Amino acid sequence: MLKEAWQLLELQFNECYEIVKSDDFYRGYALEKWRHSKQVAGAGNYIIPKIEWLQKRSSEYVEMVRVAVLLHDVCRFTEIENGFNKKGKYDHGVGASELLKHTPMFNDIRIWLPIKHHGHRIEDLYNDEVYKNITDKELQKEVELICFIIRDADKIANLNMIINEKNILHLFLGNSCGDKQKDGQISQAVKDVAFKEDTTPRFNGATQGDHITGYLSWFFDINYKYSIDYCQKLNVVSGLFEMFDEYCNDEEFKCKYKEFVRDYLHNHQYLR
């Protein structure tokens, strides 16, 4: 199944690339998302063997989970094509769930339903009528836990890029307004939710200080202890705190928020 998943992903990428290759931005976007899919698969390869409940499963089951991680962005390339052709908004998670649901090899609900909500707030999974109507509570729990794996691997890959690939940092922090004082401010919208152990909102007009605060808040949405371990291994945790020091100039907020996040990282009861 994993081999066929790679083939499907590559097919989606190649079809997209042929359509957008004349445009520098969209060509680069497609190449980046092709690379991102491989990086997320790599993060999954680190996490999955360590997860205790998966160690009790068959090799076929574990391969199914790896497939769900690998194909999480399989319709990101359709989203890129839509942007290139100015067709409007497209939710690549929802698109992927429809594609996979109607592809016999990948139509397992433990693949397509977690993928549908990997980029949404987790409440969207819990409120999904399909999820709520799963009568087998063990199956419902599996869908949730696999969704957690995908979400963790996705965040690890993105956070690693933020820390270790400075050439694309502007894609995550936005362009500077040219005023370091303004760039480093924290908006009231962020301050209002920053200490709730939840991810901070994205919004138009966010400062670079808001953005880096938001990426630190992603730690509140990481589920497995091994995901945090991998972030430590990649220097993502220390790197984000260093960037926070650099990009946030609200000293009072910065001091309190760093302490808040560090306390959470040290004391939170993660899944294993």
The pLDDT tens digits of the residues spanning 66-113 come to 999 999 999 999 999 999 999 988 999 999 999 999 999 999 999 999
pLDDT on residue 85: 93
Q: 178 falls in which pLDDT band (50, 70, 90)?
A: low
CB 100, CB 111: distance < 8 Å: yes
Counting Cα atoms < 13 Å in the Cβ hemisphere of 258 gives 18
pLDDT on residue 177: 60
The pLDDT tens digits of the residues spanning 117-171 come to 999 999 999 999 999 999 999 999 999 999 999 999 999 999 999 998 877 777 7
The pLDDT tens digits of the residues spanning 245-264 come to 999 999 999 999 999 999 99
Listed in sequence order, the residues at least 6 apart from 236 whose beta carbon sits closer than 8 Å to its beta carbon are 156, 159, 160, 163
Q: 3-state DSSP call for residue 165? A: coil
How do the domains of the chain map onto residue ranges?
2-156, 169-267
Listed in sequence order, the residues at least 6 apart from 72 whose beta carbon sits closer than 8 Å to its beta carbon are 37, 40, 93, 96, 115, 118, 150, 153, 154
pLDDT on residue 74: 98
Q: Model's pTM, two decimal places?
A: 0.93
3-state helix, strand, coil in the chain (%, to 5): 75, 0, 25
Residue owning tokens 């999480």: 72
Radius of gyration of the chain (CA): 19
Using a pLDDT cut of 90, give the percent of the chain over it.
Answer: 88
CB 37, CB 70: distance < 8 Å: yes
Using a pLDDT cut of 70, give the percent of the chain over it.
Answer: 99
